[in-house]
Amino acid sequence: MKNIAIVTGASSGLGRKLAIQISKICNIDEIWLIARRKNRLIELGNSIYKNFGVNAVVIPTDLADVNSVSRIYERLERVKPNIKILVNASGFGMVGESELLDRKSQADMIIVNCLSLFNMTNTCVKYMSSGSGIIQISSAASFCPQPYFAVYGATKSFVFSYSVALSKELKSKNIHVLTVCPGPVDTEFFDVATRDENSIKDIFKKQFMQKEDEVVDKIIKAYLKRKTILNTNILMSCISLFSGVPQRVLAANIICKIYNR
């Protein structure tokens, strides 16, 4: 049985960097790279094989297509691998007044950020075993309502709540779930998330923006330490505290104990 890793959003940003690090440090036979841009995936897959000797399976997929995950499920059914690690890094955001933003694009955001993440997770868990793990890329935007980031913030609130709850459910199976809540990271995300004609990257860059490599390094360390939640800098930890996130996690622990009585 093959030991594999699966990474969505692997063509750029945190997904790409995590795919590289996982290939480097994890004992896997194969890594499945999922994203829309085929050429970037091929380039990444070739680099991974050249540098780490890990076979890469390129799966060009638009996760805004609600049927896309079913095709991945069909591949899993054929191969029947052991999934050592799943990384859900696919996602995008839009900034502006929700009523003025394109409705279809916002609906696609909900599909990619929420439904596809759920479908990927729910599908892949069935091919995991003791010691496997999941990395879910949420956001500090999940901590509280986000005016001018309304739909994106709501999607990441779903990711946070679902992933933290899932970590409790899977604990008895020794399947680890890490929920990552970064603040602004200097990736292509901010080339998509625009307000009017101006990139919002410059709003955060001087004081808040983190580099990809810094965030990925923290994610890998947190995963290896089997942490449940990662805030990627002190500011995000403070926002998490003042937004009541620790109380929400405590409530999840209490609810889990009630159900397990």
Q: Are strands 82-88 and 30-35 parallel, antiparallel or unpaired?
A: unpaired
Residue pair 144/243 in contact by the 8 Å Cβ criterion:
yes
How long, in residues, is the chain? 261
The 10s digit of each residue's pLDDT in 11-35 is: 999 999 999 999 999 999 999 999 9
What digits encode the pLDDT tens for the residues 35-44?
999 999 999 9
Read off the pLDDT of residues 110-154 as tens digits, 9 standing for 90 and up: 999 999 999 999 999 999 999 999 999 999 888 888 899 999 999
DSSP conformation class of 233? S
- CB neighbours of 43 closer than 8 A, spacing ≥ 6? none
Q: Is the CB of residue 132 less than 8 Å from the CB of residue 175? A: yes
Inform me whether the pLDDT recorded for 261 exceeds 90.
no
Q: How far apart are CA 255 and CA 121, in angstroms?
A: 22
Mean pLDDT, the chain, as a whole number? 90
- Helices and strands: H and E segment counts in the chain: 11, 9
Between 106 and 203, the more confident residue is: 106
Superfamily of structural domain 3-259: NAD(P)-binding Rossmann-like Domain (3.40.50.720)
CA-CA distance, 246 to 230, in Å (whole number)? 12
Q: Say yes or no to pLDDT of 204 above 70.
A: no
The strand pair at 176-181 and 133-137 is best described as parallel
Q: Give me the phi and psi of 230, to 5 degrees please.
A: -125, 120
Can you tell me the mean pLDDT for 159-183?
A: 96
Tens of pLDDT, residues 77-104: 999 999 999 999 999 999 999 999 999 9
What percent of the chain has pLDDT above 90?
Answer: 71
Number of Cβ within 10 Å of residue 244's Cβ equals 13
